[in-house]
Amino acid sequence: MGIEVRRKRELVIAAIEEIGAQGSLDVTVSKIARRAGVSSALAFHYFGDKDRLFLSAMRYVLTIYGAEVRAALARAEGHDARLRALIHASFTPSNFCTTAIAAWLNFYVLAQRSPEAKRLLRVYQRRLHSNLVHDLKPLTGAEATAIAERIGGLIDGLYLRFALTPAGLNGESATALVLSALDHEIGAAA
């Protein structure tokens, strides 16, 4: 009987949508539950309290992103192709859309008061960094770490900018932008 996991997933998705729609963590459990088609009491029954619902929503988003990245990397052959695949996967529609990004932004706010949220975001950052370094090192040697820092920072910055201007910035242009930066960095290191 997978009713529990189904309800949980529905609530988590509703939470993400509600945060995205409202653009804020200042959403009520009742609104989330109503969006999921259940009562607020059920949300408490499954998650205990509001914060744990939020954290589950974060894990969900990060899991989606992680799966996307892993799949893209598995498909790519060679360091250069893997780097491009990694960057491309970071701006896939399922992640790089208004709802997900508005939620993403608010997870950074959540991380200001929730150590677990902070930990989760750090895991994301570290994984991105190590992925970049792994394929950068054979191409650029000692510079790899510094370059990864800059490329990773740029990716995060584009996420932030998308939160402000969804129009005028789509997945393709963002990908192209980061790829240019990568080319210049690799060129300079060669």
In this complex, which beta carbon is closest to DNA, that of residue 2 or of residue 93?
2
Q: Which two tokens stand for residue 83?
A: 């780097």
Residue 122 contact among a copy of itself, DNA, none, beta carbon within 5 to 8 Å by kind: a copy of itself
**Per-residue interface string for the shown chain with a copy of itself, residues 131-170, x marking contact by CB under 8 A:** ---------------x--xx-xxxxxxxxxx-xxx-----
What is the smallest separation between the CB atom of 17 and DNA, expressed in angstroms? Answer: 16
Is there binding between residue 79 and DNA (CB under 7 A)? no
What is the smallest separation between the CB atom of 183 and a copy of itself, expressed in angstroms? Answer: 7
Is there binding between residue 83 and DNA (CB under 7 A)? no
